[in-house]
Amino acid sequence: MGKRYAMVIDLRKCVGCHACQVACKSENNVPLGVFRNWVDELETGKFPTVSRQRLPRLCNHCKNPSCLNVCPVKATYQLEDGTVLIDYDRCIGCKYCIAACPYDARFINPVRKTAEKCTYCHERLEAGLQPACVNTCISGARVFGDLNDPTSEVFKLVATQPVNVSKPETNNRPQTYYIGADDKALRPNLLNIVGGEK
């Protein structure tokens, strides 16, 4: 069995510093006004029982990505390790993949005029490094690794902690797992998103 990359985000540790968002923009030269990775601030409940939760978001590199088959030029593709990437030379900017993604993880790069999203910092992985967002997380809330490796931290967390994924009803089988997430927070269309606009 080959590698299967996944990310675990422990919301009990996330302090909402947005360092992951800044590191991603810097590492990947993401233009102003768009994000590959961002942190939503969510409110749940009714007064006086209201709570806020931070929800870091990114491409989920799904096992069954809905963005993959809608691309008319096959610019979106998936590696054997599960990473979903975009061939920018093939992409025509039609936005079909953006419409197909239930996680709002894709956007049109205003400079390149192609679709763009998180790549798990693919070039860093090839160099044996962690994604920039994981490397810079000050509280250790983000953990990245091979879900098929029983010795990896990602495998251990998913196996031993109660984890949730965003919008499981889509059958995309997302590979971003959350610890400590309110189930309603993983369906942001049902909540009031306060400060995490992309």
**Selected residue with higher pLDDT from 127 and 193:** 127
Q: Is 121 helix (H, G, I), strand (E, B) or coil?
A: coil
**Confidence bin at 192 (pLDDT 50/70/90):** very low
- Its pTM stands at 0.89
**pLDDT score at 198:** 46
Tell me the per-residue pLDDT of 68-77, one tens digit each, with 9 for 90 and over: 999 999 999 9
Tell me the per-residue pLDDT of 121-145, one tens digit each, with 9 for 90 and over: 999 999 999 999 999 999 999 999 9
DSSP state of 182: -
Bridge partner residues of 78 (DSSP): 84
Tell me the per-residue pLDDT of 13-66, one tens digit each, with 9 for 90 and over: 999 999 999 999 999 999 999 999 999 888 777 889 888 888 999 999 999 999
Tell me the per-residue pLDDT of 83-92, one tens digit each, with 9 for 90 and over: 999 999 999 9
**Is the per-residue pLDDT at 104 higher than 90?**
yes
- What is the amino acid identity at position 12? R
Are 190 and 177 in contact, with CB atoms under 8 Å apart?
Answer: no
- What is the amino acid identity at position 1? M
**pLDDT score at 45:** 78
Sequence-distant (6+) residues with CB within 8 A of 40 are 54, 55, 56, 57, 188, 193, 195, 196
Q: Domains in the chain, start-ordered, CATH in brackets? A: 5-188 (3.30.70.20)
d(C-alpha 13, C-alpha 11), whole Å:
5
Residues 187, 179, 22, 109: what is their CA dihedral angle, to the nearest 10 degrees? -40
Are 142 and 17 in contact, with CB atoms under 8 Å apart?
Answer: no
Distances (CA, A) of 83 to 45, 90, 145, 182: 35, 18, 12, 26
d(C-alpha 71, C-alpha 19), whole Å:
32
**pLDDT score at 189:** 53
